Amino acid sequence: MSDLRALFGIEHPIILGPFGGLSSTALTAAVSAAGGLGSFGLYGYDGDRIRATGAALRAATDRPFAVNIWLPTGDEVEPNPQHAVFAQALHPFYEAVGIDVPARPERYLPALEEQLDAIWEIRPAVLSTVFGVPSAEVVQEAQRRGIRIVGTATTVAEAVALADAGVEAVVATGAEAAGHRVSFLRPAEDSLVGTFALVPQVVDAVDVPVIAAGGIADRRGVAAAFSLGATGVQVGTAFLATAESVATPAHRAAIRATAAEETVLTRAMSGRLARGARNRAVRAIEASGTIAPFPMQNWLTGRFRAAAGEQNLGELQSLWMGQAAPLARHDSAAEVFAELTAGVPRPS
């Protein structure tokens, strides 16, 4: 089945990028209600929070929606005595937002099995994954429950691995995209293929629908993606700048004020490579040379980033955005969606 509209039960092949930590029920529901596929990122959510999120999404929309999880890569660190050392290195940021240096938690992330158990219960239309290949058991269980499963690739080899594992569509995400580089076969720094080079090569390499992501924010990007063989697009930054997003006013303002060449790839905020604005926090952490491994760094910076968000201090937040940020010109999800659908080819 090559038509995403039939595959996902949607009217338009437009997918909201799932934001780990920045997803909102309102934005997810708005995109689904418009006839696209709203997505909600479940990074860090335990089972109870996933169930509550599923209930909230069901209450907000009767249309199909997707949820997204991060697959373990095997190099994640558990809480250990080094936590205190890395936490102390970030003391100036905790002080700046008026909170104490956080003590070591029992865990940084919930277990994948706990997340999956809850996902099977809420039964989204689509389960998308990043940072790896879902196991045969996960693919089979999703299919048994009528849940479409989508994988995410940054290289052709990753796309082939995902298709071979039985995913029903592949998101080909170029290096222009916002947020984390979700590479898993090679280091992210060695997997920086641009969207326009990646998409047609993935289309040629796999037999499942390909969804283009990265650098797409208006009708021109959508039309280009389809001309390269994609059957859908996934868009993040343009939606992140809208009123329905939970991005802070400082974050939305930064999206509109940051030139494409001013976004950077950095490990400063999470310990993994991600694209965003180089603000005060990124510059200082990079200059310190002290970055904890993932997910310790993400958990540690998350404490002051959350407080900074509440205080609208953009210089201390993760200002994730892609290189198409200057094209994020609309204030509502409906306006962004209308602009994107204008680029979808009409059936011949």
Residue 220's H or E segment, with its range, is helix 219-227
The stretch 211-234 carries a mean pLDDT of 98
- How many Cα neighbours within 13 Å face the side chain of 316? 23
Total number of domains constituting the chain: 1
Q: How would you class 43 by CB atoms within 10 Å of its CB: exposed for 0-12, middle for 13-18, buried for 19 or more?
A: buried
Residue 21 is predicted with a pLDDT of 87
Please provide the average confidence, as pLDDT, over all residues in the chain: 97
Task: Record the pTM.
Answer: 0.96
Q: What is the pLDDT of residues 272-295, one digit of tens each?
A: 999 999 999 999 999 999 999 999
Residue 285 is predicted with a pLDDT of 98
Over 50: is that where the pLDDT of 174 sits?
A: yes
Give me the domain span that covers residue 140: 4-341
346 lies in a domain?
Answer: no
Q: Are 27 and 331 in contact (CB under 8 A)?
A: no
68 lies in a domain?
Answer: yes
Q: Where are the beta strands (DSSP E) in 37-155?
A: 38-41, 65-70, 126-130, 148-153
The stretch 49-53 carries a mean pLDDT of 98
- Residue whose token pair is 């989204």: 124
Helices 195-205, 156-165: axis angle to 10 degrees equals: 40
The stretch 129-137 carries a mean pLDDT of 98
Residue 81 is predicted with a pLDDT of 96
264 lies in a domain?
Answer: yes
Q: What is the pLDDT of residues 315-331, one digit of tens each?
A: 999 999 999 999 999 99
348 lies in a domain?
Answer: no
Q: Give the integer Cα–Cα distance in Å for 286 and 191.
A: 21
Structure tokens at 161: 């691995």
Residue 26 is predicted with a pLDDT of 97
Q: What is the pLDDT of residues 258-276, one digit of tens each?
A: 999 999 999 999 999 999 9
Buried/exposed 197-229: b ≥16 CB within 10 Å, e otherwise: ebbbbbbebbebbbbbbbbbbbeebbbbbbebb
208 lies in a domain?
Answer: yes
The stretch 17-46 carries a mean pLDDT of 96
| Closest to 158 measured CA to CA, from 97, 210, 120 | 210
Long-range contacts of 244-247 (CB under 8 A, 24+ apart): 244/24, 244/26, 244/27, 244/30, 244/332, 244/333, 245/22, 245/24, 245/27, 246/22, 246/23, 246/24, 246/27, 247/22
- CATH number at 32 reads 3.20.20.70
Give the model's confidence band at 348: pLDDT under 50 very low, under 70 low, under 90 confident, else very high.
low
Q: Give the integer Cα–Cα distance in Å for 291 and 237.
A: 26
191 lies in a domain?
Answer: yes
Over 50: is that where the pLDDT of 168 sits?
A: yes
For residue 275, give the amino acid letter.
R
CA trace torsion 287, 297, 19, 143 (10° rounding): 140
Q: Which residue has the higher pLDDT, 222 or 346?
A: 222
Distance of CA 177 to the CA centre of its chain: 9
